[in-house]
Amino acid sequence: MADTVREKIFANLVTTLNGISVVNGYDNNIASVERWNMNGNNKASVPAVIINSGPEKDSDGKAYNLTHCLLMVFLELWVRQNETESAATPTDKILNSLLGDIKRALQADVTRAGNAVDTEITDIETFETIEGQQHAGLIITVEIEYRHKQQDPQVAG
């Protein structure tokens, strides 16, 4: 079974975010990138990114036999610090550095390997902050514009 254009975009997000490492020229290493799983995700290796699908708006372009889609994707960035690390580096400094790497990686190919028209970060929120909490993080909202054939969502348009 062939993948839909939407699925190819999600697969590209995993590949792109997995490429964030110091060896690849970034400032940080992302330890884990996973798609959302209803049975839970493993956050043992951090920093971790969990990719969640959000709402999508579709409209048909009658003149070109294409369906035009605006897909929202939520990237949950999870970090954890022990007390020694927290004393040395503020949590928001770590999150800001990781966010910079994620922005850079996503903008390296806004077409998601030729499956999208554009990729844009539209919103960034911090997790609710409580002193002593186990994890901290960001929810990064990404809007991905793509098209597929009206009669075949496996073919990009």
What is d(CA 41, CA 120) in angstroms, rounded to the nearest whole number? Answer: 25
Q: What is the dihedral of CA 21, 83, 136, 119, to 10 degrees?
A: -20
Domain extent, residue 99, equals: 5-156
What does the pLDDT look like over 12-54, one tens digit per residue? Answer: 999 999 999 999 999 999 999 999 988 888 777 899 999 999 9
What pLDDT shows up at residue 84? 58
- Per the CB < 8 A criterion, the answer to whether 20 and 29 are in contact is yes
Please list, in sequence order, all residues whose beta carbon lies within 8 angstroms of the beta carbon of residue 87, skipping any fewer than 6 positions away: none
More confident residue, 42 or 62: 42
What is d(CA 9, CA 95) in angstroms, rounded to the nearest whole number? Answer: 25
- CATH number of the domain within which 97 lies: 3.30.70.1700
What pLDDT shows up at residue 2? 82
* Total count of domains within the chain: 1
Is pLDDT of 79 > 90? yes
Tokens of 148: 């597929």
Model confidence band, residue 103 (pLDDT cutoffs 50, 70, 90)? very high
Model confidence band, residue 78 (pLDDT cutoffs 50, 70, 90)? very high
What does the pLDDT look like over 104-152, one tens digit per residue? Answer: 999 999 999 999 999 999 999 999 877 767 889 999 999 999 999 988 8
What pLDDT shows up at residue 1? 66
